[in-house]
Amino acid sequence: MKKSGRIILHVDMNSFYASVEAAHDASLKGKPIAIAGDPEERRGIVVTCSYEARAYGVKTTMPLWEAKKLCPSLLVLRPNFERYRQASKAMFDILRSYTSQVEPVSIDEGYMDLTELEGESPIEVIKTIQDRILRELDLPCSIGVAPNKFLAKMASDMKKPMGITVLRKRDVPQIMWPMPVEAMHGVGAKTAEKLKGIGINIIGDLALGEDIQLKALLGINGRRLKDRANGLDERKVDPDSIYDFKSVGNSTTLPADVTNQSELIGVLLKLSKKVSGRLKSKAMLGYGVSIMIRFKDRKTITRSCTLKTPVDGEEEILSVAKGLLLAHWDGTPVRLLGVTVQELVEKRQAVKQLDLFTFEEDARHEPIDRVLEEINKRYGTGKLNRGIPNAGPTAFPSAETSFSKDFLRDHK
């Protein structure tokens, strides 16, 4: 059947980790569940929770003690990453049985392009996909249907759990424009705060915003967000996007050959700051850090480390780069140094390995990072930093494959 426009789906699994646990153990169905790293640890943090738990006010990143206070009957489970990975693979296998045009974006969500699908009406196929995932895997999902990826993503968030929402371009003014600007995919808390500072409070305000003002405020992202607010998005569903691990790097030739370790580490610090700044401007994180060392005789080596969780901060990048330098530099005079962060993922789509050491560490640092960012913004970069850990050759993060990369390899 001939289609007049693209038919893009965003399939979003509902409360994925908790739903997988309930599918594995039927006795958990209908009960308030929270996934956390250590159920016995008072300082533990909720990674995700079931809709039954959410009805009590339990939320992601909430301290366990607070969650249990709100919901005394809360069942707290440790995460089982292998179980979630297998469930994710089975879900994407179902999606690919309908079309090869499937783009995974995280362990529990992905896009499909059904434009070229022949036979049944698209809406019947979409209902069948949702029903199959529920029947065969016992997992609920919500599906957004639209002419492009952005609108499909917005639509999938509009009805949970087990919703199917169609969002057409002509519906954008009535349905999307009245929503608060922070509800728009791609607008984070900081961006929303900036937009509200110039009187943009709802998505409709953004859609009608002045290009020059938006560019001055947000750079090239200003026009992109305005286009999205008007329902415009030309991105294609790209099954090969899982291979697109690009890199951001900086290198410098030293004014003289250097043998002083402190001086070399100082150079790594400057390079790490530059790389971190570029990553943050692109809203990207990287799972790998590498250094390049060119010696006096022009011999060049590159050494890298794969991280368990993605990074974009100068301290984390420096910590790994410093460890690599100390492990692989033998004291020979150095002519050039370079630092690169690779295997990049979009910040919003990054799936961290949720061992709670990482999750709780991030949560603890978040308020500090906000203060540091404000101080550096007001008084200049480098005025104040968090302590940089002393990373020797064995101190940087484990080189084992991350949960996210394991998940992506299932699709290659």
- Asked whether residue 53 is domain-assigned, the answer is yes
Same domain for 188 and 135: no
Same domain for 120 and 34: yes
Same domain for 196 and 161: no
Domain's final residue, options 170, 195, 221: 170
Alpha-carbon distance 35 to 60, whole Å? Answer: 9
- Asked whether residue 332 is domain-assigned, the answer is yes
Q: Can you tell me the mean pLDDT for 314-332?
A: 93
Residue 20: band (very low, low, confident or very high) from pLDDT cuts 50, 70, 90: very high
Backbone φ and ψ for 53, nearest 5 degrees, come out as -70, -35
Query: Which residues make up each annotated binding site for Mg(2+)?
Result: 12, 108
Residue 117: band (very low, low, confident or very high) from pLDDT cuts 50, 70, 90: confident
Q: Where are the alpha helices (DSSP H) in 283-354?
A: 314-328
Q: Classify residue 202 by its DSSP letter.
A: B
Same domain for 59 and 148: yes
| The pLDDT value given to residue 396 | 32
Look at the chain and report how many structural domains it folds into.
Answer: 3
Tell me the residue range of the domain where 353 lies.
Answer: 245-409
Concerning whether 109 is annotated as a catalytic residue, the answer is yes
Element of type H or E holding 396: none
Q: How far is CA 347 from the centre of its chain?
A: 4
Q: Which range among 18-27, 248-257, 390-399 has the greatest average pLDDT?
A: 18-27
Same domain for 181 and 134: no
Please indicate whether residue 304 or residue 199 has the higher confidence score (pLDDT). Answer: 199
CA distances from 79 to 279, 333, 342, 347 (A): 29, 48, 27, 22
Same domain for 193 and 95: no
- Asked whether residue 235 is domain-assigned, the answer is no
Residues 140-176: pLDDT tens digits?
Answer: 999 999 999 999 999 999 999 999 999 999 999 999 9
Of the candidates 268, 250, 337, 262, the residue with the CA atom closest to the CA atom of residue 300: 337
Q: What is the CATH number of the domain that holds 398?
A: 3.30.1490.100
Structure tokens given for 306: 């794969």
Same domain for 205 and 262: no
Domain's final residue, options 152, 170, 188: 170
CA distances from 373 to 16, 185, 189, 348, 365 (A): 33, 23, 14, 19, 12
Q: Which of 21, 109, 316, 343 is catalytic?
A: 109
Say if CB 137 and CB 90 are below 8 A apart: yes
Q: How far is CA 12 from the centre of its chain?
A: 14
- Asked whether residue 309 is domain-assigned, the answer is yes
Say if CB 11 and CB 30 are below 8 A apart: no
Same domain for 253 and 140: no
| Long-range CB contacts (within 8 A, 24+) of 387-393 | 387/315, 388/315, 388/318, 388/319, 389/315, 389/319, 391/319, 391/320, 391/322, 391/323, 392/323, 392/326, 393/323, 393/326, 393/327
Residue 345: band (very low, low, confident or very high) from pLDDT cuts 50, 70, 90: confident
Domain's final residue, options 229, 253, 272: 229
Same domain for 144 and 4: yes
Same domain for 163 and 19: yes
Residue 412: band (very low, low, confident or very high) from pLDDT cuts 50, 70, 90: low
* Residue 355 confidence (pLDDT) above 60: no
3-state secondary structure of 393: coil
- Asked whether residue 333 is domain-assigned, the answer is yes
Structure tokens given for 68: 């249990």
